[in-house]
Chains A and B, each alone.
Chain A
Amino acid sequence: MNWKNVLYLFRIERKSGRLIRGIKATRYKENSFIAYWPYWVAAIIGVLGGFLANYVVSLIYSDASAVGLQPLSTAASAFFSVLPTFVLGISIVFTLFQQIQLAGKASSQPMYWLPITWKEHTLASILANLLGWPAAFCVGLSSGLIIFSAFNGLILQALLTVVILFATAFLASSITEIIRVIQVRFTGAIYKSSGRAAIWIRLIGSLLVIIVFYVIYFSVVSGTSTFIAGLTAVQNGAWYVPFVWPALIIAYLAKGLFLQSFLFTVLTALLITALYFLAVELNKRFGLYEPPAITLQKSGVYAPKTGLLGKFGFSSVEAALIRKDLRAFTRRRELLGIYFMPIIIIILSIFYSFGFGNGGTTAANPTISVWPGVIFLLPASGMAMLLGQVAIGEEGQAVWRIYASPISGKNLVKSKLFLIIIYSVIILLISSFIGIVVFHPTLRRTVIALIESFFMFVAIASVSLQIGLRGPDFSGTRRQRMVRQEWALIGFIVGAITGAAVFAPVLIQYIIALVSGSPVSTLNYAIGVAISAAISIAISAVFYKINVSSAKELLRKAEI
């Protein structure tokens, strides 16, 4: 193993995962402060969380009536012991999301013809996965644990937990590497018949992995009164499942069972080693799979069509842009990640409707009433937010085509907005259909939710497109982002505020009704919806003008 090679490869992988914009500058200088924001933001949140947890715990334990509570060390140990399983799950899910984007850029990998062994390549890839979101989660949790433990005399236990958290993150990264290689082989084989089929199979495959994960995860915690108690109990009972071994190290150590703890330490180390070598073997066998050329149409007989878009008032330029983007979002693998947010929200809502994850459905449990609203309101808005943010940056290195063509700012904005709205409408229809089937809402609530969702995503689309225009990332890196990270963060916050502002008039009516105990009249709902519509139209109109202006500026300042 040449560790220098691992280091070089790993650096490249990580760097390509971060924002690299060297288009205007001849020499690229990375701002470390911005490049590593997930870690320091996680650390700050962790530290604040640690202080907050300590404050809350001290309040609870200082209360004279708290005589029936477990000793703090016991409760804390139980909490510490579930963290590795939590990190494992969340790391796998988030890294899988990233890999969907990665997949579209896998065609050029110099490492394949450089003198680099598969062991080095695999280790670098695992480390690159690890130092994405998994490391940020670990940093956040570790900071919180250390702060909390320092005040409560649990520092040794916390430090051990921190080590195990990072080991678990490595375990999760090895698993995602294995999934990635299997996906490469599987979709590579499918390529023989059709490129489009391969793309959808990759999407469905990844979704299946996530669904399986969620089913297992929620099954584990269902029927238990609390998350921690449930997971702790299941972990102890399911010692034969390798993925809970890291957690059992902490659990047994807390109970003073050192031999068992040592045994699971050894087993965890062996598991990590075995998974690493499995990933190496899979990479050796399938990592270089080169699919044959993709063919969508054999005949080549194709008559260019003007299409329906012209009849809706779109110019030839706008219609062409819309058609191009519709194809992009069904063919480009790296763009398929945008479908995940709405799908996950729908899946979560369905799971919760079945009683997973909240200890079962009971009339007294208010959580259950939130999900019908979530399934109607959030998927389409989430879609609008994500699409708006990436709609410009998705042009990537081919953006020269836009710059070099007679496309005006208005053309660009109209076509992109239409695309976002069309996709959001589709998601709204799907999520609403599922919502109606699963939750059986009243007709009045269904109509209100549909209208509110529509106005929410229209406003969010306009606002998010502004984010896309302000912070596009056209860099053709292997881990293409399409929107600069800082702008994505701003977009998320602004999008959430916009959605809340549009929905507020109806939500307020609902809250007033809940507090007063009397149902909301149809008239009051109608007033709320009308105000929502007015807010949405106002936001959309203002941002449409701003967007056109930004698009003009983007085209004017074109630099490739």
Chain B
Amino acid sequence: MSSQYAVELKDITKRYNEIVAVKNLNLSIGTGEIFGLLGPNGSGKSTTLKMLMGLVQPTAGNVSVLGLDVQKQPVEVKQLVGYVPESPNIYEFLTGIEYLDFIADIYGVPTAEKQQRINEYLKALQLEGREGDMINSYSDGMKKKISLISAFLHKPKLLILDEPLNALDPRSAKIVKDYLQELKSQGVTIIMSTHVLEIAEAICDRIGIMYQGQLLALGNMDDLRKTASMPGSGLEDVFLKLTGTEDLRAIVEELMK
């Protein structure tokens, strides 16, 4: 099965009892694309990303990742994908380097390469000197860096990143953003969710805005402006209009009472 798309979601629905987290979602993401998934809290972004990884089973529909069926070939899919969850619960009883070593072995990174790769990433994200510490002594930002490195380590063809830049210091965030652009130029597909709209606007080729489990708008910045009938506006204004939360002044005034 070959496809021009790295990811294809067809009529995906995910229900949790009476709550519909994702409803009839159809989405195709091209190879080598940086795709941003935006939406208010609880809009279904993380659930969608988890379904791509096979971490959540869709109630209905099909998920295809890199031409493979996530349900039927989960191990093969995971071998090709790097994933960073929103709140990475990582093995805190390991040291940073032990965790990365574990990840490299899991993905079968050759021994000769893994030490070099790990060292490069540790140096780039300023974790050198702290890799021997237990992860439970790390700050949230350091844990996020370790999670990002563990997603990059095996050179995946697809990166699924849930809030990847949260908790990162500005220098590291800039390095990660630039690195994602480099990966894109090498044909790596990147799907990321974020609440930082400037980041999405700056680095994403296309953006999907989810609201109440449905894809409200999809396209590049111009497409989104057209959808919102807001030519010349920034992503923040477009986002607020599309999600029906543009009139925030009244809420702030109410809070000030």
Contacts and interface: CB of A to CB of B under 8 A. Distances in A.
Interface of A: 24-27, 107, 195, 293-304, 306, 316-317, 319-321, 323-324, 327-328, 331-332, 396-398, 400-401, 403-408, 476, 555-560
Given A26-B19, A323-B102, A398-B89, A404 B53 contact: yes
Given A296-B134, A302-B97, A558 B54 contact: yes
B128 A560 contact: no
A560 B55 contact: yes
- The 10 closest A-B CB pairs, nearest first, are A297-B132, A293-B137, A320-B105, A406-B79, A304-B101, A397-B89, A331-B93, A300-B132, A26-B16, A406-B78
12 contacts: A107-B136, A295-B137, A300-B129, A300-B132, A403-B55, A405-B106, A406-B75, A557-B57, A558-B54, A559-B56, A560-B50, A560-B56
Interface stretch (B29-37, B108-116, B222-230): B108-116
Contacts of B104: 304
A179 B92 CA distance: 26
Given A323-B102, A406-B78, A407-B106, A304 B130 contact: no
B16 A327 contact: no
B111 A306 contact: yes
Contacts of A320: 101-102, 105-106
A405 B89 contact: no
A27 B17 contact: yes
Contact of A300 (B50, B114, B131, B136): B131
A165 B76 CA distance: 59
A295 B132 contact: yes
Contacts of B92: 398
A298 B74 CA distance: 39
B85 interface: yes
Nearest to A315: B108
Interface in B42-69: 50, 53-57
Interface of A, secondary structure class, is loop
Nearest to B80: A406
B182 interface: no
Contacts of B17: 25-27
Please tell me the size bucket of the interface on B: 35 or more
B196 interface: no
Given A25-B17, A295-B137, A304-B97, A404 B102 contact: no
B111 A405 contact: no
A436 B105 CA distance: 41
Interface in B72-103: 74-76, 78-79, 83, 85, 89-95, 97-98, 100-103
Contacts of A560: 50, 55-56
A520 B78 CA distance: 57
B97 A300 contact: yes
B92 to A, nearest CB: 8
B134 A195 contact: yes
Contacts of A476: 89
B17 to A, nearest CB: 6
Contacts of B89: 396-398, 400-401, 476
- The CB with the most chain B CB atoms within 10 A, among A24, A406, A559, is that of A406
Given A317-B105, A327-B98, A294 B54 contact: no
B107 interface: yes
Contacts of A404: 53, 55, 78, 83, 85
Contacts of B107: 405-406
A197 to B, nearest CB: 13
Contacts of B130: 300
Contact of A24 (B16, B50, B55, B98): B16
Contacts of A299: 132
Contacts of A558: 54-57
A316 B103 CA distance: 10
Contacts of A27: 17
Given A26-B17, A304-B105, A304-B115, 4 more contacts: A300-B128, A302-B95, A302-B97, A559-B57
Contacts of B55: 400, 403-404, 558-560
A295 B53 contact: no
A401 B94 CA distance: 14
B201 to A, nearest CB: 28
A178 B159 CA distance: 50
A316 B105 contact: yes
Interface string B123-135: 0000011111110
B151 to A, nearest CB: 9
Interface in B1-53: 16-19, 50, 53
A297 B133 contact: yes
Contacts of B108: 316-317
A312 B78 CA distance: 26
B126 to A, nearest CB: 12
Contacts of B76: 406
B94 A327 contact: yes
Nearest to A335: B93
A324 B100 CA distance: 11
A512 to B, nearest CB: 50
Contacts of A296: 95, 132-134
B91 A398 contact: yes
Contacts of A398: 89-92
Given A296-B132, A403-B55, A406-B76, A304 B111 contact: yes
Contacts of A557: 57
A244 B130 CA distance: 53
B191 interface: no
A397 to B, nearest CB: 4
A294 B132 CA distance: 10
Contacts of B101: 302, 304, 320
Given A25-B17, A26-B16, A26-B19, A408 B75 contact: yes
Contacts of B19: 26
B163 to A, nearest CB: 15
Contacts of B50: 560
A192 to B, nearest CB: 12
Contacts of A403: 53-55
A321 B106 CA distance: 8
Contacts of B90: 398, 401
- The CB with the most chain B CB atoms within 10 A, among A295, A298, A332, is that of A295
A294 B91 contact: no
Contact of B133 (A25, A293, A323): A293
A297 B133 CA distance: 6
Contact of B131 (A302, A316, A327, A331): A302
A401 B82 CA distance: 11
A406 B106 contact: yes
Contacts of B209: none
Contacts of A405: 78, 103, 106-107
Nearest to A399: B89
Nearest to A298: B132
Given A26-B19, A324-B91, A328-B91, A316 B137 contact: no
Given A324-B102, A407-B106, A332 B93 contact: yes
